[in-house]
Amino acid sequence: MNMDLLLVGLNHKTASLEIREKLYYTLDETEKVLPEIVQLFLKEGVLLSTCNRTELYGVLKGDEIKPEQLIDFLILKKGAGGVVNQSHFYILRSYDAVRHLLEVASGIDSMLVGDVQILGQVKDAYEVAVKCGVVGTLLHEVFHTAFRTGKRAKSETSISEGAVSVSYAAVELAEKIFADLSKKKGMLIGAGETAELTAKHLISHGVSELYIANRTIERAQKLAEQFNGKVIRLEEITSKLVEVDVVISSVTVSGYILTLSQVKSAMSRRGNKPILIIDIGVPRNVEPAVKDIENVFLEDIDSLESIAKANYERRLNEIPKVQRIIDEELKNFIKWYEAHQVAPTIKLLRERFEQIRQLELEKYRNKFSPEDFQKVDALTKSLVNKLLHNPTVSIRESSNGKPESERIKFIQFVRELFGLEQK
């Protein structure tokens, strides 16, 4: 039994970043454009837009409306006609569209497998649609199935575990070496993108203070404002080694910015307390022999990349487990959908009345002769059929011309009214 659900979208597999950027809708833009899309083309709809995808889920108002009209409208609204075209889009229907959303919510359709942010973005998209009043019973169930699937993928598998970027791998190491980062201080030497990102992650994981040293003092000050850090001169680096616990170095220099003797001397002055030095400079900023000093943990870009790569491969191995969760949740969704269709409800209603009729009849079997019992049997059967005639006609008519979401809502009401919900 197919559903009227439709999905039109593009993502990192079908469109370059340049294309995706052109079709990116912020939540505020979504709030403005979604009611318009629904009014023109859909009975209900949700628009999900992130840096990696823009996808519109909906139920078409009628057969005369074509998916291509939705695509054209999305392009038109962003004035992206010169760059984006229909060949960048995919069109999925019915349960294929549901499965796709479950894969998105669980992080296995992401550019970075196991992306932890996507589930929150799916929830935000749904909440904006609810706020616009354009979510009906069908999309409500579809999206709640997606939330459940995403949550299960995160808690029942390791799809989101382990750092898969260099900057995150550095922070993960810091957390292993120092159980509590909130009492630790950091130092950022240079201001490259990866170093900046690593510093950002360190701050968000609780590092209490951050010193920033950079050749260009304006750049250091800009970062200091961003991270609530303190600017120091390059000459102060070695003296600061005594008090900081995590050093991130990313400068372009011909010689080493930290030498074996400098780090040795700092270690003796800091009472041999552990220090993590992350060298992401190319060429290397820290003399490699530094790693032989006791309680000095030196990591370079290669070792961080190999940690990230190993974690990523481990995530890829989790995909079959996530697919099994998706299969289960999709099966449950199909069960829910089919149960809320017209024919099964009429059948259940008739079975329920027949069950009551027979139970009541059995109580009086001994009070009648076999011939009379047959007459009462025929009479009650006819009575039940007459009583059920109008409700049956009414339920059947509910499936004609009504929006799918309204139909499902009505069927739900009937099932609750007559106690037909399957336990």
| Percent with pLDDT over 90 in the chain | 65
Q: Any idea what the CATH number is for the domain that residue 252 is in?
A: 3.40.50.720
**What's the full length of the chain, in residues?**
423
The predicted-structure confidence for 245-297, as pLDDT tens digits, reads as follows 999 998 888 889 999 999 999 999 999 899 999 998 888 999 999 999 999 99
Residues 246 and 173 grouped into a single domain: yes
Residues 140 and 12 grouped into a single domain: yes
Residues 404 and 294 grouped into a single domain: no
The bridge status of strand 275-279 relative to strand 246-249 is parallel
Residues 171 and 151 grouped into a single domain: no
The answer to whether 195 is annotated as binding is yes
The answer to whether 53 is annotated as binding is yes
Instruction: Give the total number of structural domains in the chain.
Output: 3
Task: Give, as one character, the DSSP assignment of residue 286.
Answer: B
Q: Any idea what the CATH number is for the domain that residue 26 is in?
A: 3.30.460.30
Residues 179 and 116 grouped into a single domain: no
- Which is more confident, 98 or 339? 98
- Residue 190 backbone class (left: φ over 0; alpha: ψ -120 to 50; beta: rest): left
Indicate the range of 53-62, 88-97, 186-195, 379-388 predicted with least confidence.
186-195
Distances (CA, A) of 221 to 5, 213, 257, 278, 381: 52, 9, 21, 22, 87
Mean pLDDT of 304-323: 94
Indicate whether 387 belongs to any domain: yes
The answer to whether 229 is annotated as binding is no
- Find all residues with CB under 8 Å of 19, minimum gap 6, and list them: 10, 83, 84, 88
Indicate whether 287 belongs to any domain: yes
How far apart CA 44 and CA 57 sit, in angstroms, is: 8
Distances (CA, A) of 127 to 53, 120, 122: 18, 10, 9
The answer to whether 213 is annotated as binding is no
**Among candidate residues 363, 309, 351, the one with its CA nearest the CA of residue 112:** 309
* Last residue within a domain, chosen from 286, 307, 328: 307
Residues 9 and 152 grouped into a single domain: yes
How far apart CA 410 and CA 396 sit, in angstroms, is: 11
Residues 282 and 263 grouped into a single domain: yes
Task: Classify each residue of 326-364 as buried b or exposed e, where b means 16 or more C-beta atoms within 10 Å of its C-beta.
Answer: beebbeebeeebebbbbebbbebbeeebeeeeeeeeeee
The answer to whether 52 is annotated as binding is yes
Across the chain, mean pLDDT equals: 91
pLDDT at 340: 77
Decide: 377 and 361 in contact? Cβ < 8 Å. Answer: yes
Pick the catalytic residue: 1, 51, 310, 417? 51
Indicate whether 26 belongs to any domain: yes
Indicate the range of 148-157, 206-215, 308-317, 404-413 predicted with least confidence.
404-413
Residues 40 and 90 grouped into a single domain: yes
51 as an active site residue: the answer is yes
The answer to whether 121 is annotated as binding is yes
The answer to whether 193 is annotated as binding is yes
pLDDT at 423: 44
Indicate whether 176 belongs to any domain: yes
The answer to whether 169 is annotated as binding is no
Residue 184 has pLDDT above 60, yes or no: yes
The predicted-structure confidence for 349-408, as pLDDT tens digits, reads as follows 999 999 999 999 999 899 999 999 999 999 999 999 999 999 888 888 776 666 667 778
Residues 58 and 127 grouped into a single domain: yes
- In this prediction the pTM is 0.72
The answer to whether 136 is annotated as binding is no
Structural domain boundaries, residue 251: 166-307
Structure tokens at 117: 């942010």
Residues 224 and 293 grouped into a single domain: yes
* Last residue within a domain, chosen from 307, 328, 351: 307
Q: Count CA within 13 A, CB hemisphere, residue 278.
A: 33
Indicate whether 319 belongs to any domain: no
Residue 236 has pLDDT above 50, yes or no: yes
* Last residue within a domain, chosen from 156, 179, 206: 156
The predicted-structure confidence for 1-42, as pLDDT tens digits, reads as follows 457 899 999 999 999 999 999 999 999 999 999 999 999 999
Indicate whether 329 belongs to any domain: no
Structure tokens at 105: 């919510």
Residues 269 and 132 grouped into a single domain: no
**Among candidate residues 416, 398, 253, the one with its CA nearest the CA of residue 348:** 416
Phi, psi of 13 (to 5 degrees): -85, -25
Residues 118 and 204 grouped into a single domain: no
pLDDT at 275: 97
Mean pLDDT of 45-65: 94
DSSP string, 184-243: -EEEEES--HHHHHHHHHHHHTT--EEEEE-SSHHHHHHHHHHHT-EEE-GGGHHHHTTT
Indicate whether 332 belongs to any domain: no
| Percent with pLDDT over 70 in the chain | 97
